[in-house]
Amino acid sequence: MTRRMTPTNSLRRTGVALLAAAALAVLPVVGPQEGGGATASAAAAESGGRAWHGGWAASPQPPSSQFAPNWSEQGFADHTVRQVVRVTTGGTRARIELSNRYGTTPLRITGATVARTGEGASVEPGSVRRLTFGKGRSVTVPAGGTVHSDGVPFTVGALESVTVTLYLAEPTGPATFHSFASATSYRANGDHRYDRSGSAFTETSDSWYFLTGVEVSGGTTARKDAVVTFGDSITDGVGSTLDSDNRYPDELAERFAAAGKPRSVLNHGIGGNQVTKDTVWAGEKGVTRFKFDALNEPNVGTVVVLEGINDFGSSSWDGSPEVSVEQLIEGHRSLIRQAHDRGVKVIGATLTPVKGSFYYTPVNEAKREAFNHWIRTSGEYDAVVDFDRALADPADPDRILPAYDSGDHLHPGDAGYRAMAQALDLDEL
């Protein structure tokens, strides 16, 4: 029986106002193949794959610098890229996932390491572990493909940060990446994959490159209990403090850990993404990418869906055809069907307040309210979380409470993301 959850409660300012206003167009690329693309045979998944569970994840995006400068369009050549991520659950072995989903040529990974994170680009002494791929130090990922490294002994606890370092000796061409990391990545010239110091890493970026997953095993029994959060920039964490791990999925993982039951909580939000339309830089529409990004995670048991405000808002500034409430509902019904076909529970979230933002118009607000009414009353989702009411200002319910607002009246800040995590019923998850 469907139960409703009741709530308990930056980008830099110059950039947030442009987030959903990046130019939109139908993507020329072919969508990923079933199973997330061709996987390099040299790094096929190890036996007993169900023992792996997701520690961290990010959805891949096509290379683009349309919103903000980054390294994706230029790619890399004789560069070392060091990326810091926080895992939501621990284990005694680790492996990484690398994606060349939007590459047009094979991607050569010369070598890779994983280590415990130090300060900035540095790593803890004695913690660096070489990663292999089918027992080889290098691997070539085909265009459109995905590869996992071999597992390596590496003890890590829930909510600990790990540093993944990739050495890319040969030109990569434009890079598959994740734009809004809300985290700092580092780049050095030459091969510095084993460096303990971060001194060689003199360049920084707020995006992730090629890295789309860190999986762990050996810490807990691999049950079908991973939680995937799926959506747009609000799931992605736009408006949260850089390098703070204060996105709402991070705060949810902290709730599980505080309760003594750490769980895989995997963030598959993409800033600017839409349910019903492809975008030139924010990836395929949600109904297409859902099975590749959300449902292919190991041992996923529940998906929380928060997406649709970009579908309603984009037409107000780019002249694209308007998306009706009925069209968005049909898109969400597709997500529900896909999840149920995989035996996965799916929780629908109401769209959060936008009054005062560049998305706000009387027409868009009427659509948002009608869609939220469907989420709350239709019974089509297995459960509902009311993020709208969790963030709303009681004095003006169409607006985010000022204490929860990042400043653009669209994206929450750290306190707002914490309130969203608190609105989720852990028993329903």
pLDDT band of 45, cuts 50, 70, 90? very low
CA 221 to chain centre: 24
Query: Got the DSSP string for 73-101?
Result: TT--SSEEEEEEEE-SS-EEEEEEEEE-T
* CA-to-CA separations, 85 to 23, 160, 219, 235, in angstroms, rounded: 29, 9, 18, 16
pLDDT tens digits, one per residue of 229-288: 999 999 999 999 999 999 999 999 999 999 999 999 999 999 999 999 998 878 899 999
pLDDT at 249 (0 to 100): 98
* Number of neighbouring beta carbons within 10 Å of residue 163: 23
Q: Which residues of 85-95 are buried (b: 16+ CB within 10 A; e: fewer)?
A: bbbbbbbebbb
* Lowest-pLDDT choice from 206-210, 216-220, 258-262, 334-338: 216-220
pLDDT at 222 (0 to 100): 58
Type and span of the H or E element at 311: helix 309-313
pLDDT tens digits, one per residue of 288-309: 999 999 999 999 999 999 999 9
Q: Return mean pLDDT, the chain.
A: 89
Decide: helix, strand or coil at residue 71. coil
pLDDT tens digits, one per residue of 69-90: 999 999 999 999 999 999 999 9
Whether pLDDT at 101 is above 60: yes
Residues 6+ apart with CB under 8 A from 182: 206, 236, 237, 238, 240, 241, 242, 243, 244, 247
Angle between helix axes 325-341 and 362-377 (nearest 10 degrees) is: 30
Parallel, antiparallel, or unpaired: how do β-strands 383-385 and 345-349 relate?
A: parallel
Whether pLDDT at 325 is above 90: yes
pLDDT at 252 (0 to 100): 98
End-to-end CA distance of the chain: 14
- Rounded to a whole number of angstroms, the CA Rg of the chain reads 20
In whole angstroms, give the CA distance from residue 311 to residue 20.
Answer: 10
In whole angstroms, give the CA distance from residue 337 to residue 290.
Answer: 11
Residue boundaries of the structural domains of the chain: 3-423
DSSP state at residue 283: B
Q: Using the structure block, give the residue that is written with the tokens 């939220």.
A: 372
Domain 3-423 sits in which CATH superfamily? SGNH hydrolase (3.40.50.1110)
Q: Which of 143, 133, 141 is nearest to 62 (CA)?
A: 143
Residues β-bridged to residue 53 = 216
pLDDT at 49 (0 to 100): 44
pLDDT at 11 (0 to 100): 35
pLDDT at 111 (0 to 100): 98
Q: Which residues of 330-340 are buried (b: 16+ CB within 10 A; e: fewer)?
A: ebbebbbebbe
**Where is pLDDT greater, at 214 or 8?**
214
Q: What is the mean pLDDT of residues 107-122?
A: 98
DSSP state at residue 321: P
Residues β-bridged to residue 344 = none
Residues 6+ apart with CB under 8 A from 172: 75, 76, 77, 103, 107, 108
pLDDT at 279 (0 to 100): 85
Instruction: Give all strands (DSSP E) within 241-299, no chain letters.
Output: 265-269
pLDDT tens digits, one per residue of 351-410: 999 999 999 999 999 999 999 999 999 999 999 999 999 999 999 999 999 999 999 999
pLDDT band of 1, cuts 50, 70, 90? very low
pLDDT at 124 (0 to 100): 97
Residue 288, sorted as left (phi over 0), alpha (psi -120 to 50) or beta, turns out to be alpha
57 in Cβ contact with 249 (< 8 Å): no
**Where is pLDDT greater, at 163 or 46?**
163
The pTM of this model reads 0.90
Decide: helix, strand or coil at residue 347. strand
